Amino acid sequence: MLKEMIAARIANGPLEEVSAHCDGPCGVYDPASARIAAEAALSMTKKILALTPPDTGDSAAMAAYLNTVSRYVTIKEQQAHLAKEELLVLWTDYFKPVHLDAYPNLHDTFWKAAKLCSAVKVEVSLDHANELMAAIQEIHNIFWATKSRDVTYYTAS
Amino acid sequence: MSDKLPKSGWMEMFRWRMGRRRAFRVVGESMMPTIPPEAVIFFDPGAYDDNPPQIGDVVISRHPFQTDVQMVKRVAEIREDGRYVLHSDNPAGSDSRGFGSMPRGHILGRVTSRLK
C-alpha cells in the first residue's frame, strides 16, 4: 500500500520523457489508403460499364462519349496503380517477419491483391474490382489484428 | 525478444531517491507490449560504466539524428565493429532497421524496472 503510494507519487511527478515513437519515416500505415484507391477504380469500372455509345452519326455526341470513356479509363488506371503502390508499401515496409508467423498466408494475400490491381487496371472487370476490394478487406483485418485493434472496415460508397 | 521488465520495488525507489536511477515517462508505443505508452520506467545511467550493453537489454539511447530525442529500445545485436543494433519490441515500431546501428556512446544506460 505504502509502496504503491510512493510509486504513484513518483509517477505523477514531473518526469523527463523518453521516446518510444516510431522514427521517420513516420510509420503511419493504414490499408485505408489502398481501399480508397481500389474503391475509386471499382467505381470507374462500374461507370465505364454503364456507358452507352451514341449513334455513330452524331459526331459531337461521339466526341463527348470518347472523351468520357478515356477520362474514366485514365482514372481507373491511375487509381488501380495507386492501390497497388499503397499495398506494396504496406507489404514491404509495415509487415515484418514476426507477422508471417501469425499469418503464414500473408505473402500470398498481398501478391494476389497486387495482381488484382493489375487486372483492374488493364481490364474492365467488375468481378476483379470486387475481388480486389475483398482482398483489401482481408488485409485490413490482418493489419489491425497485428496492432491488436478492432477497427471496423468500411467503404466510402 | 520481449522479456518483461521487472516491476519497481523498494530498492529501485531507494536507488532513485539516492540519485542512482532516473525516472522517465514513455511516450509512444514502439516498445509495446513490454512498455505501454505513459509507463514510467527507471533507468540506470551507470549500468554500462564497467560492462557493455548486452543483447536483450532495454536501453535508453540518444537518437542518431535528432540530438534532443532520447529513445527507449532493446539491444538486438552487437556488430563486430562494436556498434549496436537496437530494435523496438513492437513489430510495428521503427528501429535500427530504419536508422542503422549506433555507437556505444549513444547508449545512455539500461532500463531496470517499470514503476507504472
What superfamily in CATH does domain B10-114 come from? Umud Fragment, subunit A (2.10.109.10)
Contact A29 B115 (CB under 8 A): no
Which pTM was predicted? 0.57
Note the pLDDT of residue A94: 86
* Residue boundaries of the structural domains of chain B: 10-114
B3 pLDDT exceeds 80? no
Establish, for the pair of chains A and B, how many residue pairs have beta carbons separated by less than 8 Å: 92
Contact A27 B13 (CB under 8 A): no
Percent of chain A with pLDDT over 70: 96
Note the pLDDT of residue A56: 84
Give the tens place of pLDDT for each residue, A39-74. Answer: 999 999 999 999 999 988 899 999 999 999 999 999
**C-beta of residue B102 within 8 angstroms of C-beta of residue B37:** no
Task: For residue B36, give the C-alpha cell.
Answer: 505501454
A25 pLDDT exceeds 50? no
Note whether B15 contacts A: Cβ–Cβ < 8 A: no
Average pLDDT of span A134-144: 96
Q: How far apart are CA A47 and CA A72, in angstroms?
A: 7
Domains delineated in chain A: 28-146 (1.20.120.400)
**C-beta of residue B102 within 8 angstroms of C-beta of residue B96:** yes
Note the pLDDT of residue B11: 93
B46 confidence band (pLDDT: 50, 70, 90)? very high
Q: How far is CA A78 from CA A21, A98, A113, B114, in A?
A: 33, 33, 16, 50
Note the pLDDT of residue A27: 63
ipTM of the modeled complex? 0.80
Chosen from A1, A18, A29 to mutate, greatest number of chain B CBs within 10 A: A18
The count of C-alpha atoms lying within 13 angstroms of the C-alpha of B58, restricted to the half-sphere facing its C-beta, is 27
Contact B25 A18 (CB under 8 A): yes
B92 pLDDT exceeds 70? no
Contact B63 A17 (CB under 8 A): no
Percent of chain B with pLDDT over 70: 91
Contact A18 B95 (CB under 8 A): no
Give the tens place of pLDDT for each residue, B72-81. Answer: 999 999 999 9
Note the pLDDT of residue A148: 84
Note the pLDDT of residue B93: 58
Of the candidates B50, B51, B28, B49, which has an alpha carbon nearest to the alpha carbon of residue B39?
Answer: B28
Give the tens place of pLDDT for each residue, A92-129. Answer: 888 888 889 899 999 999 999 999 999 999 999 999 99
Q: Spell out which residues of chain B touch residue A7, defining contact as CB-CB under 8 Å.
A: 8, 13, 115-116
**Mean pLDDT, rounded, of chain B:** 87
